[in-house]
Amino acid sequence: MIKAAPADDLFALLMSMETEEQTEATAQAAVRRLLDAIRSGERADLGDNRYFALTLSGAAGRVMVRDWMEGRFEHLAGHIAAWFADLAIVARDGHAFAHDPKFMAVCGALVRELKDLPAPIAATLWRVAVQGLPIPRSLLALALARLRAERVDKDQPPINHARMGLIRAYYVRLTPGGDATMTAYLNPDHPAAAYHCGRLLAVFANLQRAALGEVGAGVVQRYYAAASQTPGLILGRLVANSRNHLGKLDAKLAWWFENQLAEVMGRLGDGAPRILDLEGQGLFALGYYQQLAALRAGHKTEAGDPESPATIAPADGDQ
């Protein structure tokens, strides 16, 4: 067994504590290259190595052992590569993937301030990353609670990339072998109505801003929490409001928005679900975020006019 060099330190990559050799590459790419080298025999020196991981935390002035893990180095590389792949999410501007998140950024996405994070939650998330485990449902609930709180915040902070990546990873890992419908970018063909309800809210918000400009409390601030839990009760009201907003636009832009709305609403089939469970709320969040990113990027759905403007989307802090 040969001691791994600093450049091969997978735990440093997971924490995004970059070595000089890693500064030009994403964490995911660096782990993937190392894993491929091990499997091809190029780094046979690491093939038989094992890792040992002790998780500690402070408690009442004492050190507490939270967890102990060990296993093959190759398996660790595979699990960390999968961690970054599953967390991959489109950036807020819709033009590329968000940067690979540091482990502590993912932890911080679950609480208002990182100092509020309970040690057992951090230990659980570390085990998930190191051993390639499913994301616990309780962590999805925490992520969604923070998302709702920030959407109704009067200051509307930018949507947290690490949080949205963790929500996506929950669904990717929910199905053995992954979920092909849970893409990092907008998926107009997603089979879940809850996802398209979230998309619809993003289009409504965009439409309101195009019609009215900046307003004190917009569609998202007023309706996100309720719409993500009871879309059947809220979205109908927003459909009615949209008619007033469309009337304030010039004909070409109104036509473009009408097509956007028709495309998304056409995916709802029998209509928006009356109530969404926790999994449905997570799909709503992803649909909302990915549709917003697509609008910011000037993405056109198949129902849209490629010549129509798509630059009405709000700045990062607006929604």
**pLDDT tens for residues 59-91?**
777 888 888 989 888 888 899 999 999 999 999
Residue indicated by tokens 């091809």: 40
pLDDT at 208 over 50: yes
pLDDT digits (tens, 9 = 90+) for 114-146: 999 998 899 999 999 999 999 999 999 999 999
Better-scored residue on pLDDT, 177 or 88: 88
The structure's pTM equals 0.87
- For residues 246 and 253, what is the distance between their CA atoms, to the nearest angstrom? 8
Give the Å distances, CA to CA, from 311 to 1, 46, 252. 56, 50, 14
Q: Please give the share of the chain, as a percent, with pLDDT higher than 70.
A: 86
Q: Give yes or no for residue 246 having a pLDDT over 50.
A: yes
C-alpha dihedral (117, 123, 126, 130), degrees to nearest 10: 180
